[in-house]
Amino acid sequence: MRPTRAEIHVENFLHNLRCVRSKIGERAQIMPIVKANAYGHGLEIIARAALESQQIGYFGVATEEEGARLRRLTLLPILVLTGVLPDEADVFLRHQLDFTITDRETLHAIASRARATGARARVHLKVDTGMRRMGVEPEDAIPFLREIVSLHESIELVGLATHFATSDELDQTFFRRQLGAFDTVVREAKGAGISIPLVHAANSGAILQLPKESAFDMVRPGIMLYGYAPSLELQEKFGAELQPALGLVSTVVFKKRVKAGEGVSYNLRWHASRNTQIATVPIGYGDGYPRLLTGRAEAMIHGKRYPVVGTICMDQVMIDVGDDDVKTGDIVYFITPTRDATNAWTLAREIGTIPYEILTGIAARVPRVEVNP
């Protein structure tokens, strides 16, 4: 195995899952979002841990490929959260994946394929309460639901959903407006006698800020399951409750002394200010360690932080370790599975992004290794 690896701390993931449960109470189901290779953590590792926890009732993914891959592990319902094209319907039906429905043309195309194959498609209607990405308008939700129900021989209405655009902000004005609009649709559906097994809306921000009000029948936690709040504002407020589940690790493979004034790496962007030692580590932007971190990152060896120096290469980085006793074979952490060191938020802030991008950007060539406590 390569010395560069992503260590997945399953106990931290399970801690975060328990945190979700403690916030929402016992009534609502939990749908862990495991899209993008479980936010870079390894779909199979995370799915197995979630299943063994016996705390979940669903899974959420972004693509049919992810759903088919996950179906090999479980018989639990799997919802594909993004829109679907009619020519994808057969794959969904074959792997018993739930559809997210947002328009009538697609609904009827799915119903047609379901009738032709003798299957019954499971669908969730998405309502656009303000995200403006996808979904039916709230005023069209009840007629649309009635249309779904009318197709009951080939279509099973499973869920009603929306997505919050600003639940990661401390200002809850728009978040509450969306929540109110969705709640109105839910009440109107009940008043119209439409039976909806699962109403769901809450993402990580909603679970952290308004868990009881937004839980409905099921919640959809994503980034918080992996140990991070979805914004810096919420990280400062709630981050201490969560435990990062991933460590990005490699090993010193070479060390040499350089003299004061000598440049290091491509284009010699960094020059040593003193005689020092440079440790070379086999990780780079080809592994998902962003080149934009050049001159901005630190790594940890033996619990001490050292600057990553020179241009980050595709496959290697250099670390200024001074005169410390750092040796070939020493372990180096580029992302630590802790809140108070070099974690995904630390890196994200340096390059103006979010931990989602750091974690999902870890390349497929980096092995995911489960770490037992």
- CA nearest 356: which of 39, 125, 73? 39
Q: Where are the alpha helices (DSSP H) in the chain?
A: 10-24, 35-39, 43-53, 64-71, 89-94, 104-117, 141-150, 173-191, 204-209, 211-214, 232-238, 344-350, 355-360
Q: Which two tokens stand for residue 177?
A: 């407006």
Marked catalytic residue, from 190, 212, 266, 304 = 266
d(CA 70, CA 42): 11
- CA nearest 368: which of 71, 13, 67? 13
Block residue for tokens 């299957």: 119
180, burial (CB in 10 Å: exposed 0-12, middle 13-18, buried 19+)? exposed
Question: Is residue 51 within 8 Å of 88, Cβ to Cβ?
Answer: no
- Strands 270-271 vs 263-264: parallel, antiparallel or unpaired: antiparallel
- CB neighbourhood size of 264 (10 A): 18
- CA nearest 60: which of 42, 48, 85, 78? 78
- Strands 304-309 vs 276-281: parallel, antiparallel or unpaired: unpaired
135, burial (CB in 10 Å: exposed 0-12, middle 13-18, buried 19+)? buried
Marked catalytic residue, from 35, 39, 58, 226 = 35
* Catalytic residue check, 306: no
* Catalytic residue check, 266: yes
At 192, the amino acid letter reads A
| Active site (catalytic) residues | 35, 266
